[in-house]
Structure 1
């Protein structure tokens, strides 16, 4: 297939930047917990040495707007300037599960307030770095709606209100896209939604139907964003630019049952899932998050690379693979060290430890994708 090369490197590194509150009220700050906010320059340099000239990274809205309408950029500017100085292309997450304490996420004013914040970010980024920045306005609307408003696992810690929160987050994403485009008409956008497969382990027709409906629900957030459903919400097709999908080893399961392991007859090949996304939306695709833990890291990367090459050979426009998280990080609930990254603990302030087997597999995959490794000028979505 033709080389599109939207990103500066086919493989990207993603920095875990969650900033939500847990049910016990504690706010997480993964950029701080991993030390990335203090080691941004070193982290970008080290990823560049591993052939990654593009990353996903995030802003901490709760730090930037601790008082209504007042923006303190001290937590963000060093990161932005490091990226610019080193030539690292960044997809900036604007809202990664967290928001300022003075706002009510259920309020009708929340989307507009988020839009004003997004506009302020876009002005700053444009003035510091020039036009055509990349943004992910709201990370994982589908997961956030479930975790935050169906089962109460993260803020706003509600139960049975997933549909309501999902639509509020879609309104917020729309407000952010409009506000950013007003400041920078060349800006690019990605979604970052879970890609899942849910099947029935029962021969009963109702159970089979329910499993399929659950599987199809993965598309609801993007369908709302694009106006395919509930157009009164304000969605339009031009709000969808690059379709970012998040895919992990546990993203396939039996309805009401266990995870389907890789290699099982019920496990759906990733390439087929990507083909469905391409057919549904007709937009470029980014594997916005993928990775595994511990000794599974290189094997999982091997699988993802093979499936993406298969998809591209069939004309599916997969434009990049983001290793996410690219740093080991402390778990949300128990602070257990999750060894998921290419990079691990800091060795001084200049570099981090490296997972040697993952680095070796990454080099192998980069060689296999070298025909799409070099960037070319990208144009804004139509």
Structure 2
């Protein structure tokens, strides 16, 4: 029996792990571990994670540092982190790819060897840490990745438009399938937690689509890797129209993989987007109703164990943050009673994070600090970011300690 089949609810936290190391005019490097000083204070951060009552942690590998040159790995720091995770008793759901590719990978996801190279790297990490890395996410939020890298041209390879989005999405899907298959070949016991951004739409769907089409669009990444995109799929014509090749679609059907757990990311004040007739998107509050709607949608479609792999509130009002702790855990309790197989809930991120707009901005870093965390980041006169657990940390810890074990 595994943690996701034992019938219990497991609690987790996560460390924001976006890595976009490429610089260009108007684009700074974005490395959340560097900005939050996690590279220096990682022991304290992991101990705070354990102290929160979490038994699971989502934590990611900076691929660009672990494989600084193609085929050459430096595991020295990663070895220390994995040892500490094991010592603390934290089960790591490892992001081998959250966002971002190494500097040496020319054209990023467009590199024809990307699926092979990301799979090689992931298999090397998994093979090194049996008993520590037993749960793995091949790539976090593929649709968000395709938007930022393919539709909006903000991250490498800087494509734009729907053709760009589909181009990047297909490369990501091929990489995810290659990663799962390569890891399973060296570590058959590893469980795969595929993590999706749970989009919801009000008014219109994204990019000129209707709401019904948008609701199909949001599942594209998981549908591609699980081999569901045949000619009868509602979005097949959309993919082909925007550049998906018959050969790549055939490979994805042939090499399809199945997640062990489907992770759903949900932010109550951001996940639901109101889209007007001109296509402008604006986030709207959806509370617990939006979360329940998404969990049911993913359960109906895939019928697999579910985890809420990211959720939190970005607010300086700690009372609002505490309220979301209660709303989240009460809602999970309710939907589990109704039969939804929710096996884990993660507060993500444990620490405050730096908004991604930092990369394209010019202001000092701390002006981009977002109060998402159960732990505040407070810069002292020595420039060190002190870790200060807030009242929501205490609420989370108390609720987790009191949660029924069923």
Q: Which TM-score applies when normalising by structure 2?
A: 0.81
**1:179 aligns to what?**
182
**Distance in 2 (alpha carbons) for counterparts of 1:211 and 1:89:** 38
**Distance in 2 (alpha carbons) for counterparts of 1:149 and 1:269:** 27
Deviations 1:62-120 (A, max 9, x none): 11111111111123222111111222111111112111111132022110011111111
**1:362 aligns to what?**
396
**Distance in 2 (alpha carbons) for counterparts of 1:192 and 1:7:** 20
**1:216 aligns to what?**
216
Would you say 1:320 and 2:344 are equivalent positions? yes
**RMSD of equivalent CA atoms:** 2.7
**1:64 aligns to what?**
66
Deviations 1:4-56 (A, max 9, x none): 56699722111011001476342211112212222222222222222112100
Which of 358, 372, 377 in structure 2 is aligned with 1:345? 377
Structure 1 segment 191-202 matched on structure 2, within 5 A: 191-200=194-203
Which of 105, 108, 112 in structure 2 is aligned with 1:108? 112
Structure 1 segment 57-206 matched on structure 2, within 5 A: 57-104=59-106, 105-126=109-130, 129=131, 133-160=134-161, 161-200=164-203
The answer for unaligned runs of 5 or more in structure 2 is: 231-248, 359-364
- Do 2:149 and 2:155's aligned partners in 1 also have CA atoms closer than 8 Å? yes
**Distance in 2 (alpha carbons) for counterparts of 1:122 and 1:4:** 19
Deviations 1:205-258 (A, max 9, x none): xx8x71221122111100001001145132466432110111012111222353
Which of 265, 289, 294 in structure 1 is aligned with 2:310? 289
* Stretch deviating more after TM superposition (31-40 or 110-119): 31-40
Change (3 A) 1:69 1:287: same
The answer for unaligned runs of 5 or more in structure 1 is: 373-382
- Do 1:177 and 1:239's aligned partners in 2 also have CA atoms closer than 8 Å? no
User: For 1:75, what is the secondary structure of its paired residue?
Assistant: helix
* Stretch deviating more after TM superposition (237-246 or 3-12): 3-12
**Distance in 2 (alpha carbons) for counterparts of 1:252 and 1:22:** 31
**Distance in 2 (alpha carbons) for counterparts of 1:351 and 1:260:** 32
Change (3 A) 1:144 1:187: same
Would you say 1:371 and 2:395 are equivalent positions? no
Deviation at 1:260, TM superposition (A): 2.9
Change (3 A) 1:187 1:6: farther
Deviation at 1:146, TM superposition (A): 0.8
**Distance in 2 (alpha carbons) for counterparts of 1:4 and 1:368:** 20
**1:277 aligns to what?**
298
* Stretch deviating more after TM superposition (363-372 or 113-122): 363-372
Deviation at 1:343, TM superposition (A): 1.2
Would you say 1:244 and 2:279 are equivalent positions? no
**1:376 aligns to what?**
none
Q: Which TM-score applies when normalising by structure 1?
A: 0.86
**2:233 aligns to what?**
none
Change (3 A) 1:43 1:6: farther
**Distance in 1 (alpha carbons) for counterparts of 2:70 and 2:343:** 38
